[in-house]
Amino acid sequence: MNLSQQYWSLIRLRAGLVAVLGLASVVIGFAAWFLKWLISEAHDLIHRSFVHGWLGNMVLIVTAVLTILIVGWYVRKIVKIPLEHATEQLQVRLKEGKGYMPLRLTISSLFATALTLGGGGSAGAEGPIAFTGGAIGSNIARLFRLPSQTMLVFMACGAGAGIAAIFKSPIGGMFFTIEVLRMQLGIKAVIMLGMMCLVSSLTTLALSGFTPDLAVKAGLVFEWNMVIPAIILGVLCGIYSAYYTYTGSVTRRKIGQIKSPVMKNTLSGLTLGILLAAFPALYGEGYGVLADLAAGKLEAVSENSVFWWMHSRWLPAVAMVGILLAKGIACTATNSGGGVAGSFTPTLFAGAVLGSLFAFLWPEGLSPDIAIVCGMAGAMGGIIRAPLMSVFLVLEMTSCNSLLMPVCIVVALSFTVSSLLCRRDL
């Protein structure tokens, strides 16, 4: 083979690889959009039948138990592959060099997640879509008979593309693969990852009408007199992150001690249902509540809550404290007790509530919009321990790039304080 033939052979090989990457990215982006649609439909179908008020809150307990029981049975009897804690499973697969994922994982986790969150699971969709993205990348690489090492890279890039698509955050998806999955990537793999995250997020964005998941007031400006409040908020986020991590760990350990799968599903569903009945704002992913908080509608957190009888201006603050105390337990009960969901969105939700509470208590410090954005990033950075992913994911999903400096301040302090309190190495 002469030099010209080698050149054109290399061009065809790289063009083929780009085509495969593009195909996988578009499929992953569509899967993320489809999952969002499924969750919305399941939520509307189940939630529409509720009788609102305290009677409806009691129905939430029954719904939560039935949902976790059904999803647990589906995973054990139909899928027959563990789907919970998907991010941890991906980490193990990458560490062991297992790049192949069964084809049925591309679909099964989507339906299990839609039912979990539609039925009230207080969690997110990101873990399962990362699992689905990894499975799609793995199987497309296998379909085109790519080498096993390339299949492993496709799986890792597919998982990152899933995160990029579900949050519409290409840079956030890239840092998920690097920070959370801890995938060692060369230059070629980084380019592949960037391309897949960009194309998958654009696909989801186009299918959803180019609308953000969380609309925040445009033109937010951070001024120098807000530095001290941002520092205080960062420390508070770190302290709360340590609390969230502790309560989640205790809940997971207690659930793990239950041997019977049915009993585990029942008790987890009951725990989740009681918390939902006390604070209905914990239902599902919570994007609706986040949108209301960003719009200044603080009553969204206290509506039909256990504190409904209070008639005071402090009612939203009391409800927000209750939600913050319960969120880590509710999320872990969902993810460790039989439900199939993710753990990133709950940290964003908790951070937004903490930021809103901070702005409520100190309105002269930070505006509610800025406090919410900074709180989201701070809680995610402290709990997930992925500071760069947290910064860029929140800035991209809220389109608040002008808040880069305060978000970095809050995330850095939250990450540091949380690490010290949790006795982890920095």
Distance, in Å, from the CA atom of 330 to the CA atom of 268, rounded to the nearest integer, reads 9
What is the tens place of the pLDDT at every residue in 192-211?
Answer: 899 999 999 999 999 988 88
Distance, in Å, from the CA atom of 49 to the CA atom of 17, rounded to the nearest integer, reads 48
Residue 97: exposure state from Cβ atoms within 10 A (0-12, 13-18, ≥19): exposed
Average confidence score pLDDT of the chain: 88
Angle, helices 368-384/287-294, rounded to nearest 10 degrees: 140
pLDDT for position 119: 86
- The pLDDT-based confidence of 223 (bands split at 50, 70, 90) is confident
Q: Of 163, 176, 158, which Cα lies nearest the Cα of 125?
A: 163
Pick from 54-58, 139-143, 271-275, 352-356: least confident: 54-58
Pick from 12-26, 132-146, 149-163, 405-419: least confident: 12-26
Residue 88: is its pLDDT beyond 50?
A: yes
pLDDT for position 50: 58
Distance, in Å, from the CA atom of 384 to the CA atom of 386, rounded to the nearest integer, reads 6
pLDDT for position 16: 65
Pick from 49-58, 73-82, 124-133: least confident: 49-58
Distance, in Å, from the CA atom of 107 to the CA atom of 128, rounded to the nearest integer, reads 10
pLDDT for position 58: 82
pLDDT for position 9: 52
What is the tens place of the pLDDT at every residue in 114-128?
Answer: 999 988 889 998 889
Pick from 76-90, 160-174, 231-245: least confident: 76-90
Query: Could you tell me the two tokens for 208?
Result: 């959803």
Distance, in Å, from the CA atom of 211 to the CA atom of 422, rounded to the nearest integer, reads 38
pTM (predicted TM-score): 0.92
Length of the chain: 426
pLDDT for position 425: 41
Average pLDDT in the 269-276 region? 94
Rg (CA), the chain: 21
What is the tens place of the pLDDT at every residue in 69-78?
Answer: 999 999 999 9
- DSSP bridge pairs for 342: 124
End-to-end Cα separation, the chain, in angstroms: 53
Distance, in Å, from the CA atom of 190 to the CA atom of 202, rounded to the nearest integer, reads 18
